[in-house]
A and B are shown apart, each in its own frame.
Chain A
């Protein structure tokens, strides 16, 4: 079946511009997670959704970052006024149940110039 998909696969943007990253989880998965992976680093947790609500936003690095989820499906991660330190691969994962095994998408590589 279809896995987790993310779009775009690559995004190059100028410093100061806003970007939107999209995640389509596996159908029926109630939990959705966003992570950031900087070059040569492990994954950094950003935010977690259970259904359409986000009980844990503790990982968002600043108020320039926000995320929403609608229809217990698609999620969008928005970064406003991008900075060069935002350059990273942004990964989305979903799981059938809370605390279940997570399935990862291929990621969006964001480059801020």
Chain B
């Protein structure tokens, strides 16, 4: 069985400061991991994905995430927050229980708030 835990339901940062959204996963085999972003009233958009290549993954809009197997973590970071980053962020693992053979298992989401 696979699962994803997003450690913070809400994160608030000031514009221009670093962003850290935390995610831990459990998996019985080497997983594929993703971060998706959902802006209000818009569809889900893939930010980045890890598929057993480089452990540091760069995504769109300046985001990156590092896969750490020893810590079973896949935290999302950005050096400098922008107002347009305010959205809901989902950490996702592929396959396994709850996601079907090839479906995705979503974390509960982290709501990112950017203070001016």
Q: Which residues of A contact B (CB under 8 A)?
A: 3-4, 31, 33, 35, 40-45, 47-48, 55-56, 58-59, 91, 93, 95, 98-99, 101-107
How many interface residues does chain B have, given as a range? 20 to 34
Chain A residue with Cβ nearest B44:
A104
* Contacting residue for A55 out of B45, B101, B108, CB 8 A: B101
Q: Is the interface of B mostly helix, strand, loop or mixed?
A: loop
Decide if B98 touches A59 in the complex (CB within 8 Å): yes
A residues in contact with B101, CB < 8 Å: 48, 55-56, 98
Once bound together, how far apart are the Cα atoms of A56 and B98, in whole Å?
A: 10
Once bound together, how far apart are the Cα atoms of A45 and B99, in whole Å?
A: 5
Once bound together, how far apart are the Cα atoms of A95 and B99, in whole Å?
A: 15
A residues in contact with B100, CB < 8 Å: 33, 45, 47-48, 56, 58-59
Chain A residue with Cβ nearest B102:
A99
Once bound together, how far apart are the Cα atoms of A59 and B100, in whole Å?
A: 8
Closest 3 CB pairs of A and B: A42-B106, A56-B100, A104-B44
Decide if A98 touches B102 in the complex (CB within 8 Å): yes
Chain B residue with Cβ nearest A48:
B100
Decide if A59 touches B42 in the complex (CB within 8 Å): no
| B43 located at the interface, meaning its Cβ lies under 8 Å from any Cβ of chain A in the complex | yes
Give 25 pairs: A residue, B residue, CB < 8 Å, sorted on A. A3-B43, A33-B104, A35-B106, A41-B109, A42-B109, A43-B90, A45-B98, A45-B103, A45-B104, A48-B100, A55-B101, A56-B102, A56-B103, A58-B100, A59-B98, A91-B44, A99-B94, A99-B95, A99-B102, A101-B46, A102-B104, A103-B46, A104-B36, A104-B45, A105-B43
Once bound together, how far apart are the Cα atoms of A95 and B49, in whole Å?
A: 14
A47 to chain B minimum Cβ distance, whole angstroms, is 8
Sample of 16 more A-B contacts, CB < 8 Å, known A42-B90, A45-B100, A45-B105: A33-B100, A33-B103, A42-B107, A42-B108, A43-B104, A45-B98, A45-B103, A48-B102, A59-B98, A99-B32, A101-B49, A102-B46, A102-B104, A104-B36, A105-B43, A106-B42
B residues in contact with A48, CB < 8 Å: 100-103
Counting chain B CB atoms within 10 Å of each CB, the highest count among A3, A45, A56 belongs to A45
